[in-house]
Amino acid sequence: MSAKFRRPIALVFALAALLTMQNGASQAAGGANIPTDRAAVEHALSRLTFGATPGQVDDVQRLGLARWIDQQLNPSSIDDSAVQSRLTPLPDPPEVDRRAARNLSEQERMEMQRRSRQATRQSVQALAAQKLTRAIYSDRQLEEVLVDFWFNHFNVFAGKGRTAAYIPDYERDAIRPHIWGSFRELLGATAKSPAMLFYLDNWLSADPKAAEQVQQINNRRRGRFGGVGITLPRQQQQQQQQKQQQGPRRNGLNENYARELMELHTLGVDGGYTQQDIIEVARAFTGWTLANPQEGDFRFAPQLHDRGEKKVLGHAIKAGGGMEDGERVLDIVAEHPSTAKHIATKLVRRFVSDEPPAALVDKVAATFTKTKGNLREVMRTLVTSPEFYAAQYRGAKVKTPLEFVVSGVRATGRDVREPRQLLQALQQLGMAPYQCQPPTGYDDTAETWVSAGALVTRMNIAQQLAPQQAATIGGPDFQRR
């Protein structure tokens, strides 16, 4: 090979080596803060997993805690095929012939709706069983902890209308694929999800003038086929009335999603927004709706959108826009300093202490801002920080019911093929999956879950889960992590 070609090739290899060294130095810098003693491993496993399994502390010590954490932060490197074989498939939704359904009697229509509701409940129950199976047996433990955290952050309630029908896709498509990416991508996926659109009613939100015009058009269309001077057969009249009653009632602007977007999903309750900002954000999201509530596909309806100028948190959004108005709002709130602090505070509260240390919140928020919301790097900053391993925070968190039940199973090494008993236990403890009604999601602080009655219930459940180890699992030390 001539010198003419050797120099560029040598340069490429040199650059590659330099990048590798820089990447390794970056990981080493994080790893340098990670202690290696057994107590630190036990602490990390109590916070970054749903509880240690028999022998896992020894395994992680042999591997090295820093290396184990790096694997958890890059879960695609972990073979998790074993847990897939344990997952019970979700039932297929019932097939509905929409054209034939129009000719059903009232009794037949009610029976069809009953079967649909039953299938939806079964689907949510199967998803809850999958959630527990993953939490117990997945080797990608941090990923499962974070899926639970982010679903809770962007909570939707299975008990509201058709929300339950959308929840399996919501967790699979909007939450799970984005927990290691950018916060903005995660935020956008939830904003367009049928589950969120239905749960917080944004699918009904419209520019009041546009909603009135659409209603007038619909009335005129109905008048052509059943208006004054035209008498329809009784069955057709009933079907027409049913269709009108089942159709969406767009009464104008709905602020529910706009309010929770800023208060819960991004800036936080003290994030510096006003009631006028909520109104402006709601205007930006008019027309973000569902193509068909039965099928649950996102659609932007330009005829329902408020095309006027808007001003959100000091940022002007020009008149004449469409769907991009909502996208611009998501950009604004995702990049806002209050969002970085709010997300950092929630993560530190979840993984470190009910009273988040301000210095660590600032550190995590700084990474959030610097990396434009790179959630993998945000977590890396948190779990490699000295504060995460500080003695005063070890054993300082109380397990939520989900953490208690799953960690109890993991600690015993029990083989669970049918998690129905575990789901009943969570129901008793007040933390059934996907059943939290308010958009705040389930609390993760001790105040909510610690009471004399709750501790007695935990002891009884420990007796059911593992009679031989009930004293340990139901005891006060096991309740902490």
The residue-averaged pLDDT of 104-129 equals 82
211 with 164, same domain: the answer is no
Residue 417 maps to a domain? yes
Residue 197 maps to a domain? no
Please check the confidence at residue 353 and state whether its pLDDT lies above 60. yes
pTM, rounded to two decimals: 0.87
Reported as a pLDDT band with limits 50, 70 and 90, residue 244 is: very low
Helix 452-465, helix 420-429: angle, nearest 10 = 170
253 with 324, same domain: the answer is yes
207 with 316, same domain: the answer is yes
293 with 215, same domain: the answer is yes
Q: Which of 253, 314, 261 is nearest to 286 (CA)?
A: 253
Q: Dig out the tokens for 470 from the structure.
A: 């009930």
Give per-residue pLDDT as tens, 285-323: 999 999 988 778 999 999 999 999 999 999 999 999 999
The residue-averaged pLDDT of 145-151 equals 98
* Rounded Cα–Cα distance for residues 94 and 120 (Å): 9
Residue 47 maps to a domain? yes
Q: Where are the beta strands (DSSP E) in 26-81?
A: none
29 with 137, same domain: the answer is no
Residue 13: domain span:
3-84
Strand pairing category for 315-317 and 310-312: antiparallel
* Rounded Cα–Cα distance for residues 285 and 304 (Å): 10
The pLDDT of residue 245? 45
Please check the confidence at residue 184 and state whether its pLDDT lies above 90. yes
Out of 286, 305, 335, a domain closes at: 335
218 with 147, same domain: the answer is no
Cβ within 8 Å of residue 280, ≥6 positions away: 310, 311, 312
The pLDDT of residue 141? 98
177 with 212, same domain: the answer is no
Residue 366 maps to a domain? no
Please check the confidence at residue 75 and state whether its pLDDT lies above 90. yes
62 with 169, same domain: the answer is no
62's enclosing H/E stretch is helix 56-63
Domain count, the chain: 4
Helix 401-412, helix 452-465: angle, nearest 10 = 30
Out of 301, 335, 369, a domain closes at: 335
211 with 300, same domain: the answer is yes
Do 459 and 470 touch, CB atoms closer than 8 A? yes
Buried b (16+ CB within 10 A) or exposed e, 362-388: ebbbebbbebebbbbbbbbbbbbbebb
289 with 209, same domain: the answer is yes
Give per-residue pLDDT as tens, 401-453: 999 999 999 999 999 989 999 999 999 999 999 999 999 999 999 999 999 99
Out of 335, 351, 376, a domain closes at: 335
213 with 152, same domain: the answer is no
Q: Which residue has the higher pLDDT, 182 or 30?
A: 182
Residue 349 maps to a domain? no
Q: What angle do CA 261, 181, 150 make, to 5 degrees?
A: 45
Residue 97 maps to a domain? no
317 with 408, same domain: the answer is no
- Measured CA to CA in angstroms, residue 401 lies from 50, 381, 458, 470 at distances of 11, 27, 8, 16
